[in-house]
Amino acid sequence: MKQLGDFAANTYSQFGEDGLIFEILGRISSTFTVDLWCCEFGAWDGLYLSNTAKLIREKGYSAVLIEGDKKRLKDLERNFPQDNVIKICSFVTVEGATSVDNILSKTDIPIDFDFLSIDIDGMDYFILQSLISFKPKLICIEYNPTIPNSILFVQEPNEKIKQGSSAKAILELGRTKGYTAICATHCNILLLKNEYVSFFTSDLKSLEELIPKGNDMQVIFSGYDGTLLSNKMDISLGWHGSFELQKVQILPKYLRKYSGDYTRMQWILFRLFYLSRSDKKKLKDKLLNRIKKAIRSDS
């Protein structure tokens, strides 16, 4: 028997979400009435890496597509001119007039519409948290795939910060809102309302099984000499690529030595280095003057 993950396939999506969404909604519709409505924000032109385009084009879905960039919105309107696809120019926030609840409340989308895609590269956790009035059957939400499964991490609730949150944090939030994780792709988790989970009992897995690569931790630790060490040859920065560990050291090479073996000059240079990275300007200037005097007295 096929596992849910076997249905992963891309038409417009990036990591197989199209096939998974089709299969999940198909199983639900075999018993329950689906309303054929979906929503996606950060929709771009409606096609690029879209999780809703296939539903709209192949299943006749009505949709609310939200895009904050005016130029992209024009492309979105061109790609989906039909009236049953509502195009809205807005950025989504966690509260106020541009919250998901408030934006959707001004449309005809049902309270328990079929599918919601959350992918805003940072505040995804807080957008899901802010969703109160609307309760979509299926949610696709982005997580940061560089964070190990064991880590509960939620970025600061600041729209200017784009760090993302861990899969563990997303799953725990989903549980509090009545959702169960039934599948995951490279950086997205599919959350299903608990009332439909009976269709997927054979697919229910632990987080470790859902995201096997999340068990392969990248650990950074320090040697006694201040050298950053790792269990990996390269340090992954996710979307920024990988770098050799030697290129992300904090201490300069001449200070990577056990502090008990420092010479007087190395101690002076270390303190100067330390203070140069702090905001204590007056203390730094005072110490710098002392260092200059010490150097002159040695010469």
Do 284 and 192 share a domain, yes or no? no
**Same domain, yes or no: 270 and 198:** no
Q: What does the pLDDT profile of the chain (299 residues) look like in tens digits?
A: 688 999 999 999 999 999 999 999 999 999 999 999 999 998 999 999 999 999 999 999 999 999 999 999 999 999 999 999 999 999 999 999 999 999 999 999 999 999 999 998 899 999 999 999 999 999 999 999 989 999 999 999 999 989 999 999 999 999 999 999 999 999 999 999 999 999 898 889 999 999 998 888 888 899 999 999 998 888 888 778 888 888 889 999 999 999 999 999 999 999 888 887 766 555 556 666 766 676 666 55
Same structural domain for residues 210 and 228? Answer: no
Is residue 250 located within the same domain as residue 289?
no
Whether residue 288 is found in the same domain as residue 249: no
Residue 27's CATH number: 3.40.50.150
In a shared domain, residues 59 and 164: yes
Contact predicate 3/203, CB 8 Å: yes
- How far apart, in Å, do the first and last CA atoms of the chain sit? 81
Q: Are residues 205 and 277 in the same domain?
A: no
Helix, strand, or coil here: 242?
strand
The values of phi and psi at residue 227, to 5°, are: -75, 130
Do residues 146 and 281 both lie within one domain?
no
Same domain? 189 vs 222: no
In a shared domain, residues 244 and 275: no
Q: Where do we find the tokens 């990996």? A: 232
Domain that holds residue 48: 4-215
Asked if 206 and 240 sit in the same domain, the reply is no
Number of domains forming the structure of the chain: 3
**Is residue 227 domain-shared with residue 210, that is, in the same domain?**
no
Residues 6 or more apart whose Cβ sits within 8 Å of residue 209: none
Q: How far apart are CA 63 and CA 89, in angstroms?
A: 14
* Cα→Cα distances 219→146, 152, 186, 251, Å: 11, 15, 20, 18
